[in-house]
Amino acid sequence: MTNARDTSLTRRRLLAQGAATAGALSLPAIVPASALGRGGALAPSERIIMAGIGLGGRGSGDLGWMLGEADVRFVAVCDVHRGRREAAKAAVDGAYGSKDCAAYTEMAQLLAERTDVEGVLIATGDRWHALASVLAMRAGKDVYCEKPACLTMAQGRMVVDTARRYGRVYQTGAQRLSESNHVFAIEMARSGRLGPIHTAYADIRWRDGANRDWLPAEPEPPKSELDWDAWIGPCPWRPYNSGYVNGGGWYHQYDFATDVAMWGAHSVAQALAGLDMAKVTTIDFEFAGPDKTMVTRLSSGVKLVLFRSPGSVWDPCKLWHGACGERFDGPDGWAAAADGYAQPDVSSPALLADFKKVVAEYASRTQRPMNHVRDFLDCIRSRRQAVANPEVMYRSMCVCLAADICEQLKRSLKFDLRKAEFVGDPEANRLRSRAMRAPYTF
């Protein structure tokens, strides 16, 4: 009786639903043109659904950059700082003329709940970059992560392994790899137009030793305003001080940051892109001493100079006149680029005659746009590696972090690039990782 009654009710429901559906199909449907992709708008099915994690400071700029892409739709933001979280939501809602953007305090909740999200922008403080990237990729998200991508070589290796295991697209924010002036300088070196490169330079803004002293304790804000424990994340605990949070004070703290990699995450990646790294097995790091300009010697015979610009990043120097510069010297001339250039610097004006041709040939060969965010989004669709992919990130970060360790120990070191370990130096090898505070671990 019960089974029969249930079957009868089910049939009646199906008949009623069928009639309702038929009636609905006979009526004219009113669908917004934007939902169909008309009037220049993309249909929802064509949009890349994104979320943002850690969107103060640099993150707000990245968010604005991505909001300008027509095929992106941000649906959620996350920040442990209420003011920044609300500002990010307001920016997204303002861009779309709605109030639909969800705001999360906890990253884990966002990653678990938002199965619709395909990609995430991660622009937290540096201490969170590697861990957030790994957790996001494990949750099935593609990742655009600000630089430096990790605090240690061990963290960087975890990012590489996770991206490979889960088949995720990953782009680190070394955006100058997608800018025409830098691409030109890199291509001039890579293509042999300068002859065999004997010396390359990368701009590093050494911070004269990261601070290891704690700032004095201040009253901790309510958790609803700032989740201090989550803000610290995997780093050693220390009492709250507004100087860490406001104005980027964490930037100068060893526990929260790196040294050479702060700028080197850009410029070392740029320099290595112009060199034949397939031939490099080891790198000798010469202790820099007081002037902080470190000479490294690649096993390929190229000298890579990690050059510290004098004074302000905009002060003139003998190699470039802006920030984040790289330069390549060969027997047939040199080429350099840095921020603020109208065009690259070259040893001879004749080298610039092919500027457009060199950049166009690069774009044709690689099928990459001169837009770092666009390259990431295109790779989400194509599933190919981004220009600043995990391997590119890891190799350049190993060089930067090895330089940090060399200066920390105040002695020269030999680094095996393929094994990512120092040769015959157990003390240096122990510094390739840092303890991560529970529960903020891989």
pTM of the model: 0.89
Using CA atoms, how far apart are residues 47 and 43, in angstroms rounded to an integer?
7
Q: Do domains 40-175 and 176-209+258-430 have the same CATH topology?
A: no
Q: What is the average pLDDT across 156-160?
A: 98
| Residue 9 confidence (pLDDT) | 36
DSSP E strands: which ranges in 64-123?
A: 72-78, 102-104, 119-122
pLDDT, tens digit (0-9, with 9 covering 90-100), for 5-43: 343 334 334 334 444 434 443 444 444 444 445 555 677
Share of the chain above pLDDT 70, in %: 88
Helix ranges (DSSP H) in 178-297:
180-190, 228-232, 242-245, 261-273
Q: Cβ distance 339 to 352 under 8 Å? A: no
Residue 327's Cβ-side half-sphere holds a number of Cα atoms within 13 Å equal to 21
The reported pLDDT for the residue numbered 308 is 77
Average pLDDT over residues 168-180: 98
Task: Domain 40-175: give its CATH architecture.
Answer: 3-Layer(aba) Sandwich (3.40)
pLDDT above 90 as % of the chain: 78
> What are the pLDDT digits (tens) for 418-442?
999 999 999 999 999 999 999 999 9
Residue 315 — pLDDT band, cuts 50, 70, 90? Answer: low
Cα separation of 207 and 252, whole Å? 7
Pick the closest to residue 62 from 409, 394, 432, 377 (CA basis): 377
| pLDDT score for 340 | 86
Tell me how crowded residue 186 is: count the other CB atoms within 10 A of its CB. Answer: 26
C-alpha to C-alpha distance for 264 and 388, rounded to whole angstroms: 14
Contact call for residues 324 and 266 (beta carbons, < 8 A): yes
- What are the domain boundaries of the chain? 40-175, 176-209+258-430
Look at the domain 176-209+258-430 and name its fold. Dihydrodipicolinate Reductase; domain 2 (3.30.360)
Q: Is the dihedral of CA 380, 385, 390, 393 positive or negative?
A: negative
Predicted pLDDT of residue 251? 85
Six token digits for residue 314: 């905009």
